[in-house]
Amino acid sequence: MTFDLLISGAGPAGLCLAQALSGQGLSIGLVEQQPASALAAPAFDGREIALTQPSAERLQRLGLWHRIQAYDPAALSPLRDARVMNGPSPFALVIGHGLTSRSELGWLVSNHLIRRAAWDAVQDSMARHGDITLLAGDAVSQVDVAADAAHVTLASGARHTARLLVAADSRFSPTRRAVGIGAAMHDFGRSMLVCQMTHPQPHDHAAWEWFGHGQTLALLPMNDDPATGAHRASAVLTLPHQQIEPLLTLDENAFNDDMTRRFEQRLGAMRLASTRHAYPLVGVYPHHMVAQRFACVGDAAVGMHPVTAHGFNFGLLGVDTLARELQAAHAAGRDVGLPEPLARYQRTHRLATRPLYEATRLVTTLYTAEAPPARLLRDAALRVAERVTPFKRAIASQLAGGH
C-alpha cells in the first residue's frame, strides 16, 4: 500500500499523531506489533503520567480528555504542589501552585487510560474519515529510503511505501535504528518500581520527590479511592537494578511494611492497592530526529528520566509540532516528506527538549550521589532555593508548562 504518512508504533505518541492529522486529506498507515485486541484494552502498567497544563489542553483538543473522564470520574487528579526533600530531614523545597495563575500545577492520570482514550479516538476518526489504516500484529523490519519515498518491509513480508515514515516505537526504536540513526544513551544503573498505595494521612495533592540515602522515592497524588474513600497515591521507588527484583514478589504484608518504613511513616501505614511494575532507567537522545523521508516522535525522539515528569509531555509537544508542520505543508500543496518541514520540526523540538534533558541528567546524578559532600551540597541547594521566590516561580511555571 502507499501512504502519505506511515507511523511505526501505536502507543500514545503514534496514536495521537494519527489523531492530530486525521481529517486533513492525508492517507495514514499505523503499524503496531501488538494485536488490535491488546491496543483496545491496554492493561494497567503502574505508571501515572504527570500532565502539564499545555499537555492537558492538547489532550482536550485531540478528544482524549473527556473519554478519560467517562472511563473513570476519579482518573484525573490535580497536582497542586510539589515538594523536594533530601535525606531524613523534614525540610522541603515547596513549589506551590500559588506561584502560577492556576489552581494546580498540572494533572495526573494513569498511562493505560491515556492509551485507551487515544485508541478509541483513533477508532472514531477511522470511522468518520476513513483515512487511517491499522496494520496491527506486525512491525517494521527493513527500511529503504529514496528521494521520493520511504519503502518499508514489515515482519510479515508486506511492503508499503510512504512519503514520510515516522518512528513512535519507544526510546529504543528499532525503526530509528533501521533508518541508521544512532542515539546517546545514559543508563542510570537503576530501576524504578511503581504501584498504587493507600495511606491514612492526606497528601493534599502534593507530589513528592525525595532523594533519600541509597534510594529515591516519589509520591504522585491520586484522587481518593472511589470504593473505599482511602487516600491514594502512586508510589515510585528507585533503587539499583538488583534490589528491585525481590520487591516485585515480596509478600504483600511484608511489602507494605517495607514501603511504610521507606516513607518513614510520613503518611502512616501504607497498603498496596495495585499490581507492582518495574522499569529500567535509561535516558536516550538520538543524534538526529529527522532524516530523508523520516522523523521520530515520542520516546523515539526524547527518552527522558522520569524525575521531572516531562517524558510524555515532550512526546505530546513533539506530536503537536510535527503535526503543525505537516498540516501546513499539505495545505500548501507540498509533499509532507520534503526536508524543509522536517528540519523545522527538528530545530524546534531540540530547542524545547535538549536543555532540560541535559539538566535532568546532571541533577539526577548529583541527587543520587552518596558521598557526604554531595549530600551536604544538595541539602544546601534546596535551602537556598526555598528562599529565592523568582527561582521557585520559574520552576513552577516550567512544571506547569509555561503557564
The full 3-state SS of 214-280, as one line of letters, equals CCEEEEEEECCCCCCCCEEEEEEEEEEHHHHHHHHCCCHHHHHHHHHHHCCCCCCCCEECCCCEEEE
Domains annotated for the chain, with CATH where assigned, are 2-44+112-184+284-363 (3.50.50.60)
Grid cell for residue 52 = 502539564
What pLDDT score was predicted for residue 98? 72
Q: How far apart are CA 403 and CA 389, in angstroms?
A: 17
pTM for the whole thing? 0.91
Q: Which amino acid is at 90?
A: P
Query: Which residues are within 8 A (CB) of 340 and not within 5 positions of it... i.e. 6 or more apart?
Result: 329
Report DSSP state, residue 140.
Answer: E
What pLDDT score was predicted for residue 87? 76
What pLDDT score was predicted for residue 403? 42
Alpha-carbon distance values, 293 to 6, 123, 232, 341 (Å): 10, 27, 46, 11
Q: How far apart are CA 319 and CA 114, in angstroms?
A: 15
Grid cell for residue 222 = 491520586
Strands laid side by side in the 77-79 sheet: 48-52, 106-110, 77-79
Ordered DSSP codes for 23-83: TSS--EEEEESS-HHHHHSPPP-SPEEEEEHHHHHHHHHHT-HHHHHHH-TTS-EEE-EEE
- What interhelical angle do 111-129 and 53-62 show, nearest 10? 30
User: Are 323 and 378 spatial neighbours (Cβ–Cβ below 8 Å)?
Assistant: no
Alpha-carbon distance values, 125 to 62, 120, 299, 318, 355 (Å): 11, 9, 24, 21, 36
User: Are 321 and 342 spatial neighbours (Cβ–Cβ below 8 Å)?
Assistant: no
Q: What backbone torsions phi and psi does residue 119 show, to the nearest 5 degrees?
A: -60, -45
Strand-pairing partners, residue 237, are: 193, 217
Q: What backbone torsions phi and psi does residue 11 show, to the nearest 5 degrees?
A: -80, -170
Picking from 323, 324, 329, 337, the residue whose alpha carbon sits closest to that of residue 294 is: 337
Grid cell for residue 123 = 477508532
User: Are 167 and 180 spatial neighbours (Cβ–Cβ below 8 Å)?
Assistant: no
128: left (phi over 0), alpha (psi -120 to 50) or beta: alpha
Ordered DSSP codes for 295-350: EE-GGGT-B--GGG--HHHHHHHHHHHHHHHHHHHHHTT--TTSHHHHHHHHHHHH
The 3-state DSSP class for residue 171 equals: coil
pLDDT averaged over consecutive 10-residue blocks of the chain (403 residues)? 97 98 97 96 95 94 97 95 83 76 88 97 97 97 96 97 97 96 91 97 94 89 95 96 95 98 96 96 95 98 80 94 98 97 98 87 65 60 61 62 52
What pLDDT score was predicted for residue 26? 98
Q: How far apart are CA 48 and CA 234, in angstroms?
A: 7
Query: Residue 182 CA to chain centroid, in angstroms?
Result: 21
User: Are 45 and 122 spatial neighbours (Cβ–Cβ below 8 Å)?
Assistant: no
Strand-pairing partners, residue 8, are: 31, 167
What pLDDT score was predicted for residue 159? 98
What pLDDT score was predicted for residue 373? 56
Grid cell for residue 277 = 511494575
